């Protein structure tokens, strides 16, 4: 997953973009970048590292201008070099810088097409650079010396016709303003908001509403699937639906794990959705084992805490914090190979023995992918003296790869691959394994809004890909790039440029 932000303001935007990126840091820890625009000049800073490592005072002083965009990146296999950091830039037409969150499922074909038909060279393995060049070509095809909003929207419409996948995009056009648009299925999130200043109205677009909150912007609404928003240099806002056959099918994993709990995405309060997940888990416990013997419910930090608390409340069982998290250890999701991941888990979590000793413990996590972390955590609970260890997942079993921007591993590396739920519990050493049902998960999200979603991207749970263009050959090629052996190969590369920032220990 990645985080994006775009801003048109009445004063320098560098600090506001910096602040927004810090609260989107959970969406990407590998690299950060920012482009600002003053007059007809771009000012760019990007590099590997966290936001506060990439942007020092000397860099911020050079990022001048009242218009800009920013990005935090979580890389996929082979794409962690500084050269792959976003935003990307092209000088023709006009000068355009672009950043995006998601994945283009036809990126390889597009790159070849760009070279053969559009005579454009793609210099990296990032699909974001492909997307930038597609947009630049389509905008140039409008043939205007000074483009109007109609021309920019026409270019976006042409992009939607050529590009497939899940994507949320921000771009800045030198001297003209900031553009943002969202894929026709609304898989990846994008919101916009405004704030009033003595100098006039300012507008921000971002991956999550929390980025607006931190700087005093009020959430206006989500960008609709297929919709584009253009904010000119004076702050005038233009919007248009630029795609055909749109539907809102947001990624379910945003609500389970990816988004911050204090965000609102597609009118869904993420915190409320996670509370409902806990209630559904409690109901399933009572259905399967009404005479359960659970003494205490303990979350695995941090994302599962909300669900675990509601689960405990509705079961009338004690809730306790049983693990202390070392926040200075890198996230195991991004580590190549099982050896490094295993070493990191014990450094990252440490149990509080008194919360486990002589108790029947229900551990709650947001999801399970590989199961490596889960197995070690179950063993930690036993070592701390638990009589029995149960394990609940707020999400259903993850059985299929994600192709829209989440870098999950090869399906054969999933703990749920070719296993029943009971067999998964046995594999991680749990006395009882409890998974959320997919229909219950969908219902938790639908219960948080006045409308019902037409569809969801639930592909990691059921193998249903809402874009309709994913076949066995595509998944086989993806599998070759994502397995652990490929990730240990320096020159292995994926066309994706975004995955979950933390799946916290997850790729487990």
d(CA 153, CA 166): 19
- At 335 the pLDDT is 45
Helix boundaries (H) for 268-396:
270-288, 305-315, 338-348, 372-383
Question: Omega before 381 cis (within 30°)?
Answer: no
432 membership: H or E segment, kind and range: strand 432-435
C-alpha closest to that of 19 among 48, 58, 62, 51: 51
Using an 8 Å Cβ cutoff, are 181 and 221 in contact? no
Q: Measuring CA to CA, how many Å separate 388 from each of 313, 327, 357, 358, 364?
A: 20, 28, 10, 8, 14
407 is in an annotated binding site: no
Question: Could you tell me the end-to-end alpha-carbon distance of the chain, in angstroms, rounded to an integer?
Answer: 17
Using an 8 Å Cβ cutoff, are 97 and 69 in contact? yes
By annotation, the residues acting in catalysis are: 2
479 is in an annotated binding site: no
d(CA 39, CA 174): 8
- At 410 the pLDDT is 86
- At 277 the pLDDT is 98
Helix boundaries (H) for 363-466:
372-383, 421-428, 438-446, 459-462
Tokens found for residue 407: 């870098």
Dump pLDDT digits (tens) for 301-359: 989 999 999 999 999 999 999 999 987 765 444 444 445 455 567 788 999 999 999 99
Helix boundaries (H) for 384-446:
421-428, 438-446
Dump pLDDT digits (tens) for 378-421: 999 999 999 999 999 999 999 999 999 987 888 899 999 999 99
- For residue 4, list its beta bridge partners: 71
User: Where in the sequence of the chain do the CATH 3.60.20.10 domains occur?
Assistant: 3-247
User: Where in the sequence of the chain do the CATH 3.40.50.2020 domains occur?
Assistant: 272-326+345-451
Residue ranges of E strands in 24-83: 31-38, 41-48, 67-73
Q: Low-confidence residues of the chain, pLDDT below 70?
A: 75-80, 329-344, 483-508
Residue ranges of E strands in 331-409: 349-351, 360-365, 388-393
365 is in an annotated binding site: yes
Q: Measuring CA to CA, how many Å separate 312 from each of 315, 320, 392?
A: 5, 9, 12
**pTM of the predicted model, to two decimals?**
0.91
What strands, in cross-sheet order, belong to the sheet with 31-38?
A: 41-48, 31-38, 67-73, 3-8, 200-206, 191-197, 218-222
Residue matched to tokens 């900031």: 178
Tokens found for residue 390: 């149960």
- At 503 the pLDDT is 37
- At 83 the pLDDT is 85
Helix (H, G, I), strand (E, B) or coil at 205: strand
- At 80 the pLDDT is 67
- At 342 the pLDDT is 55
d(CA 465, CA 394): 21
Other CB atoms within 10 Å distance of the CB of residue 352: 14
Fold for the domain defined by 3-247 = 3.60.20
Using an 8 Å Cβ cutoff, are 373 and 506 in contact? yes
- At 508 the pLDDT is 30
Fold for the domain defined by 272-326+345-451 = Rossmann fold (3.40.50)
Using an 8 Å Cβ cutoff, are 186 and 266 in contact? yes
């Amino acid at each position: 997953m990645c985080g994006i932000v775009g801003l048109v303001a009445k004063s320098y935007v560098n600090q506001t973009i910096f602040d927004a990126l810090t609260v989107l840091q959970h969406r990407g820890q590998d690299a950060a970048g920012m482009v600002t625009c003053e007059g007809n000049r771009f000012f760019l800073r990007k590099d590997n590292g966290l936001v506060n490592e990439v942007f020092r005072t000397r860099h911020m002083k050079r990022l001048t201008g009242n218009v800009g965009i920013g990005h935090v990146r979580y890389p996929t296999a082979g794409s962690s070099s500084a050269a792959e950091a976003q935003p990307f830039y092209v000088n023709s037409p006009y000068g355009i810088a672009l950043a995006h969150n998601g994945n283009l499922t036809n990126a390889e074909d597009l790159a070849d097409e760009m070279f053969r038909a559009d005579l454009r060279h793609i210099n990296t393995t990032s699909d974001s650079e492909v997307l930038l060049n597609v947009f630049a070509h389509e905008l140039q095809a409008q043939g205007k010396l000074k483009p109007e909003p109609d021309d920019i929207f026409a270019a976006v419409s042409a992009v939607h016709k050529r590009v497939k996948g899940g994507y949320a995009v921000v771009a800045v056009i030198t001297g003209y303003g900031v553009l943002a648009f969202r894929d026709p299925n609304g898989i990846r999130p994008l919101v916009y908001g405004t704030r009033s200043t003595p100098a006039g109205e300012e507008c921000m677009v971002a991956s999550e509403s929390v980025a607006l909150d931190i700087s005093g912007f009020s959430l206006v609404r989500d960008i609709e699937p297929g919709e584009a928003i253009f904010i000119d240099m004076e702050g005038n806002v233009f919007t248009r639906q630029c795609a055909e056959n749109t539907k809102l099918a947001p990624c379910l994993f945003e609500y389970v794990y990816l988004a911050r709990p204090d965000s609102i995405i597609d009118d869904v309060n993420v915190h409320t959705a996670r509370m409902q997940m806990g209630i559904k888990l409690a109901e399933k416990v009572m259905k399967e084992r009404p005479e359960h013997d659970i003494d205490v419910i303990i979350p695995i930090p941090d994302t599962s805490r909300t669900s675990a608390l509601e689960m405990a409340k509705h079961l009338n069982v004690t809730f306790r914090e049983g693990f202390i998290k070392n926040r200075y250890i890198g996230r195991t999701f991004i580590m190549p190979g099982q050896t490094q991941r295993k070493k990191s888990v014990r450094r990252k979590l440490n149990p509080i023995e008194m919360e486990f000793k002589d108790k029947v413990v229900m551990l709650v996590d947001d999801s399970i992918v590989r199961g490596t972390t889960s197995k070690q955590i179950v063993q930690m609970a036993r070592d701390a003296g638990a009589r029995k260890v149960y394990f609940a997942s707020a999400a259903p079993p993850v059985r299929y790869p994600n192709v829209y921007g989440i870098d999950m591993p090869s399906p054969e590396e999933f703990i749920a691959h070719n296993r029943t739920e009971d067999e998964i519990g046995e594999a991680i050493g749990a006395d009882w394994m409890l998974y959320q049902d997919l229909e219950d998960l969908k219902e938790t999200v639908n219960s948080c809004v006045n409308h019902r979603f037409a569809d969801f991207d639930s592909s990691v749970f059921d193998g249903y890909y809402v874009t309709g263009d994913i076949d066995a050959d595509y998944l086989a090629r993806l599998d070759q790039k994502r397995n652990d052996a490929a990730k240990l190969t320096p020159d292995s590369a994926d066309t994706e440029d975004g995955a979950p920032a933390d799946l916290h220990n997850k790729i487990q």
